[in-house]
Amino acid sequence: MRVALFVTCINDALRPRTGRAVVTLLERLGVAVDFPAEQTCCGQPQFNTGYRHATEPLVRRFDRAFRDYEYVVTPSGSCTAMVRDNYPRIGAKAAAEGRGPELTGIAAAAVPKTYELTEFLVDVLKVTDVGAYYPHTVTYHPTCHGLRMLGLGDRPRRLLEQVEGLELRELPGAEECCGFGGTFAVKNPAVSAAMGADKVRNVTATGAEAVCTVDNSCLLHIGGSLSRQGSPVRPVHIAEILASTEADAQAPVEADTKAPAASGTEGSPR
């Protein structure tokens, strides 16, 4: 089975360790992973802010990057939802405007093969025990797009429940939005911050060491609020938990902020 990883722009630039975790996890499960370098962004920020026309080249780019693959796997509920719900809309609207007749076909091809990571694990690979070990207390925040647009249901929980050493803590008000909402966080900062504060209060109330989601965008917002409050709760993407093994538990926490060991001249200033 050959799978293309759509790592998403936020993971690529800001949380690369999530992408690395997906590669580790899938390869451990016997899946060959490709990373087509042609890929960039799904277009969600532009689309949701009202710049639909600006998303059309990105839909075409998605197609160029992934057309040769049977499966596209994404560690992001909202980027998967963008492809699944909005690519067909972009195609239909373009067709109605008499432009980009190929967009409808692109959408039709992309929708059935694009999977959010936990969907892919449970529905395609049919596994819930991925052999992970994570000796921590964790609370799970179901992100809105994963929950409502994709209908992930209990897939992430079923995966987490099989992780050895992991204790899952119930999150009060779990299904309420964290307040990120892409550009909403910038356009309505007061309401976004108020929503974030309530979410963080609920996360903290669980007493868990880590809060996990299927989406790093929400996690950046929740993590940013936790960090500002000096909270010790760690924001962790579910892929990183599922990729963890006993060996990782012994090793010190790998940080993205450390320069790569063999980066040569590309090393960052220390």
End-to-end Cα spacing for the chain: 41
Asked if 82 touches another protein (CB under 8 A), the answer is no
Q: What angle do CA 234, 22, 262 make, to 5 degrees?
A: 85
Residue 28: both structure tokens together: 């451990």
Q: Answer whether 134's CB lies under 8 Å from 241's CB.
A: yes
Instruction: Give the one residue of 40, 128, 162, 245 binding another protein; rule: CB under 8 A.
Output: 40
Footprint on residues 87-106 left by another protein (CB under 8 A): 89
If the CB atoms of residues 1 and 108 are measured against another protein, the closer one turns out to be 1
Asked if 53 touches another protein (CB under 8 A), the answer is yes
Asked if 256 touches another protein (CB under 8 A), the answer is yes
Please choose, out of 39-47, 108-116, 126-134, 155-163, the segment that lies near another protein by the rule CB under 8 A: 39-47
Asked if 67 touches another protein (CB under 8 A), the answer is no
Q: What angle do CA 224, 225, 227 make, to 5 degrees?
A: 65
- Round to whole Å and give the CA distance between 93 and 125: 35
Asked if 212 touches another protein (CB under 8 A), the answer is no
What string of DSSP letters covers 200-235?
Answer: HHHHHHTT-SEEEES-HHHHHHHHHHHHHTT--PEE
Interface with another protein: number of residues (CB under 8 A): 83
Footprint on residues 103-162 left by another protein (CB under 8 A): 144-145, 147-149
Asked if 57 touches another protein (CB under 8 A), the answer is yes
Shortest gap between Cβ of 165 and another protein (angstroms)?
26
- Round to whole Å and give the CA distance between 170 and 159: 15
Shortest gap between Cβ of 258 and another protein (angstroms)?
6
Instruction: Give the one residue of 25, 26, 47, 234 binding another protein; rule: CB under 8 A.
Output: 47
**Tokens 């963890």 label which residue?**
244
Any idea of the CA torsion for 181, 74, 27, 142, to the nearest 10 degrees? 40
Footprint on residues 214-243 left by another protein (CB under 8 A): 220-221, 223-225, 227-228
Asked if 179 touches another protein (CB under 8 A), the answer is yes
